[in-house]
Chains A and B, each alone.
Chain A
Amino acid sequence: MTIPHAPLPGEPQGAPVRDRAGGSAVAGCDRRSVPLLELRGITKTFGDVVADRDVDLTVAAGEIHALLGENGAGKTTLVRVLAGLTHADSGEIRWHGEPVHVGSPADAIRLGIGMMHQHDMLVSSLTVEENFELARPEPPLALGLADTRSRVTALTERYGVEVRPDARVDTLTVGQRQWLNLLRILDGRAIRLLILDEPTASLTQSEREDVFRTLRDLRAGGVAVILIVHKLSEVFEVCDRATVMRAGRVVATRPVSETSKEELAGLMVGHAVDTRLAGAPTAPHEVILTVSDLRTVGAERDLAGVSLEVHGGEIVGLAGVDGNGQRELGECLAGVRRPSAGTVTVRGADVTGCPPTELTSLGVARVPEDRHEHGLALGLRIWENVHLGRSGSRHLVRRGVMDTSRARRLAAELATRFDVRTQDLERPVGELSGGNQQKVILARELGDDADLVIAMNPTRGLDIAATQFVYEQLMAVRSRGGGVLLVSFDLDELLALCDRVLVMSGGRIVGEVPAAGADRTLIGMLMGGEHQQVSGEAVL
């Protein structure tokens, strides 16, 4: 998927696609004084949580506007309001200066607002052309697949996306699907405002550059772009202005030319952050976890022979683009997926294919990636979740009967130790905030002083304080001589926390980099699957 130059996107009716000079002429020059989009006082609450509080935002035609902020700052909710996917409690949307009602995605589409979601919005059981067909507004009876096929072919060829129109979407890679999403937005519609919610999170370096090139072309054509990003470097790479949000409010809007990464970072987090958290390298301990030549069959991304070691007293990071086998490796190590070949040993004991309960008794803690689905039984009480899968090993069960008063007492102790903030451990754990839910998991998994921790994206969706708490707990495991395998999509997190970072791509480990003073470009290249070129430098 490398293209030397992405030519101009679609030629839909009146789509404002010219070169930079011609762009302003199309983007409504008579309304030059009025911005394309104005949000005034948008407020949106979910239950007791205020996602957006009185947000104002102005976006002009022909600009790429970055929306920055930590997880939970309210960016996604704001753009979902704009795309008609959710309704604001109060506030006003002005389009060309006129108040408009965006009650549904159909309204948004009619205005020319297109949104590319964090997770792609293609129906995976349908083919590529059917997905394009689905988005067409014509009356529903006839299916113009032949016409659609030729348009899809034209678009994919122009952008160098090697996809057959009749391929089922679930056979495609994450990057291809993201591309198709973008192409579908550009297909057949006069797009005026394009919203992208973290489009680059699961793309390779070259795919990302292609997307940015397309965005620049759209800007040249007078299209406004709102780009939600997490990487500050991307703001400077492609954006004109940046709006920073924090805790549901807009903190500041800055022209990119007049700001710096440091300033934006400071605005985002509210206080200065020190990057490198890991202490001095500890003396090498004995090996705790050994994985050798692990393979799977029938997974979304099969492991193709993974070998690694984790020693006591170290945090080993596992970097990689989502969907390169990290999840499958984590599942194998957590005992919920049976590898087809290879071995896993913990302190010399072969635990390949062992059930989770056995791993627990060997002191292996697992922090699953999906808190809600895998980590907790949301309808059960908080104290019950503290013992989920561990009631046996904590001697709370005698002849099948649980000592519930002891279990409650123990849970209360652990909850206090791990700073779970709640009035009442009898409440369902689903009522807790994300951070407190994660603390319940940590209390359960780390409460017995586990000496090996498999943590998969443990800070995803957490606020700063909760993230910090998770870091402290993982560091504590390290300093008491335990080993941690930390799977994360956040390179900053890995480099701040780990002693060394392994990079995964295509179901295998493609390189290893010491975290201190790591070369990000090198890791990025490895993550992008370009390990052939760099394998000489990487320590394997």
Chain B
Amino acid sequence: MTAIAGTVRRGDAIAAAAVRMARATVANGLIVILGLLVSAALLALTGADVAAATRALVEGSVGSPEAIRQSLIQATPILIAGLGVSFALRAGLVNIGADGQLYMGALFAVIVAVYGPPLPWPIAPVAMLVAATVGGFLWGALPGWMRARLGMSEVITTLLLNFVAFWIVSWAVHDPLHDPMGGGYPWTPEVPAPARLPVIRVAGFFLPSGLLLGLVLAMAISFVLHRTHFGFGLRVIGDSPQAARWAGIDVSRLTIAALAISGALAGIAGAAELAGNQYRLSDFFSPGFGFTALVVALVGRATPSGTVAAALFFGALAAGGGSMERIAQVPASTGLVVQGTVIAILVASRSAAARSFSYRLRRRLVRPDVGAA
């Protein structure tokens, strides 16, 4: 109470911020572990061999350089789409439509890559990414506009637009973009080699370049949120739309912009997955990347750094889940149970009741004499 604001040194503030971040990381790590344990218990109840499943999970995610490469490849789309969901969350908007935006991004990208003029590397992947950005941007701007101008809840609209996007893509890969030489599968021709995102070899490890792109985007988002006027406005509307209105911030415009950019990021995720992993767009392209992106954003507390950490973890979980299915015959769908359980525990731990409980607990532990005062 006695120290006046101006006298506090900057370094202290940064140190305090670092402590807060470390604490949040530990807390989220514990929640994820708890989620894994609860899911394991659920599996055990249904008679699965939990020990074998766990072994397969670890082996398949971090057990070998190839496993790590798989984990990083799996992490790439959920990282970039997760950044998109985080970005909207910071503006107070729940984007459940990352899956649809990802599909639209991939659709735009595949049109440019496969049906556009042949382009050399690196122009081809850039052109793909730009096209995907446009596709995702438009598909995100639409619910933004619906919310800002028509008063529709973005939760509902983004959910419904997922289905619209899916059926558009499904039609496209069955009909106009269908690869007649594709063995009868409903998918497009492969993205030509110059348009693909390579895997870079660094110190014996394989880094998908899409993942590097994600890391760069994370830094860019961090800059936008904390160092730009636009990001400041976004965080104000995310914290209090009313305060934003009184401060003269154009809430409608920023709402549209936030969801559009969120969608653009999800679109880029689609292009990264297309050009870095699957090479063909199909109507089974996304195994729910958009929902995992939401999980990743929530676990990462909507911060770019947290999202990166969470995406790497869930990427590993996805890669490990594949090997779990192959080796331990535990279906990969249990990964969804883990995700759901982690979010449930997370949201419970951040609820009002949990906060007041942890406050009381802390007070009792730190200052046992306070009750007597």
Residue A375 at the chain B interface, CB threshold 8 Å: yes
Residue B47 at the chain A interface, CB threshold 8 Å: no
Q: A389 touching B247 by the CB < 8 A rule?
A: yes
A376-B243, A377-B240 known; A402 vs B6 contact (CB < 8 Å) = no
The minimal Cβ–Cβ distance linking B21 to chain A, given in whole angstroms, is 12
Bound Cα distance A307, B239 (Å) = 36
Q: Mark B1-45, 1 if CB is under 8 A from A, else 0.
A: 111111010101100110000000000000000000000000000
Q: B5 touching A404 by the CB < 8 A rule?
A: no
Bound Cα distance A47, B360 (Å) = 8
The minimal Cβ–Cβ distance linking B246 to chain A, given in whole angstroms, is 5
Bound Cα distance A360, B4 (Å) = 27
Q: A415 touching B246 by the CB < 8 A rule?
A: no
Find B248's partner among A90, A355, A376, A397 (CB 8 Å cutoff).
A355
Bound Cα distance A205, B247 (Å) = 37
Find A357's partner among B8, B239, B248 (CB 8 Å cutoff).
B248
Bound Cα distance A376, B242 (Å) = 9
Interface 9-mer from B174-182, B228-236, B339-347: B228-236
Q: B248 touching A426 by the CB < 8 A rule?
A: no
Bound Cα distance A346, B43 (Å) = 70
Residue A496 at the chain B interface, CB threshold 8 Å: no
Residue B111 at the chain A interface, CB threshold 8 Å: no
Which of A47, A388, A397, A412 gathers most chain B CB within 10 Å? Answer: A388
Closest to A427 in B: B16
Q: A356 touching B246 by the CB < 8 A rule?
A: yes
Residues of B within 8 A of A392 (CB): 229
Residue B350 at the chain A interface, CB threshold 8 Å: no
Residues of A within 8 A of B204 (CB): none
Residues of B within 8 A of A382 (CB): 5
Which of B5, B229, B232, B248 gathers most chain A CB within 10 Å? Answer: B5
A47-B359, A404-B227 known; A375 vs B236 contact (CB < 8 Å) = no
Find B246's partner among A375, A378, A422 (CB 8 Å cutoff).
A375
Residue B326 at the chain A interface, CB threshold 8 Å: no
Residue A142 at the chain B interface, CB threshold 8 Å: no
Q: Mark B204-245, 1 if CB is under 8 A from A, else 0.
A: 000000000000000000000011111010011001101111
Residues of A within 8 A of B117 (CB): none
Q: B243 touching A377 by the CB < 8 A rule?
A: yes
State how many residues of chain B have any CB contact under 8 Å with chain A: 32
Q: B243 touching A388 by the CB < 8 A rule?
A: yes
Residue A124 at the chain B interface, CB threshold 8 Å: no
Find B247's partner among A89, A388, A412, A425 (CB 8 Å cutoff).
A388
Q: Mark A393-430, 1 if CB is under 8 A from B, else 0.
A: 00001001110100010011101100111111110000
Q: A379 touching B230 by the CB < 8 A rule?
A: no
Residues of A within 8 A of B2 (CB): 421
The minimal Cβ–Cβ distance linking B90 to chain A, given in whole angstroms, is 10
Bound Cα distance A380, B6 (Å) = 18
Q: B248 touching A425 by the CB < 8 A rule?
A: no
Bound Cα distance A151, B242 (Å) = 42
Residue A16 at the chain B interface, CB threshold 8 Å: no
Q: A389 touching B232 by the CB < 8 A rule?
A: no
A356-B248, A415-B5 known; A426 vs B17 contact (CB < 8 Å) = yes
A376-B240, A378-B240 known; A360 vs B229 contact (CB < 8 Å) = no
Residue B249 at the chain A interface, CB threshold 8 Å: yes
Residues of B within 8 A of A (CB): 1-6, 8, 10, 12-13, 16-17, 226-230, 232, 235-236, 239-240, 242-249, 359, 371
What would 19 A/B residue contacts be, using CB atoms closer than 8 Å? Answer: A89-B371, A90-B371, A356-B246, A359-B248, A366-B246, A368-B246, A374-B242, A377-B236, A389-B249, A402-B232, A416-B4, A416-B6, A420-B5, A422-B5, A423-B8, A424-B12, A424-B16, A425-B8, A426-B13
Q: Given contacts A335-B248, A368-B246, could you give 18 more A-B pairs where the C-beta distance is less than 8 Å?
A: A359-B248, A373-B242, A374-B246, A375-B246, A377-B243, A379-B239, A389-B247, A389-B249, A408-B10, A413-B6, A415-B4, A416-B6, A422-B5, A423-B3, A423-B5, A424-B16, A425-B8, A426-B13
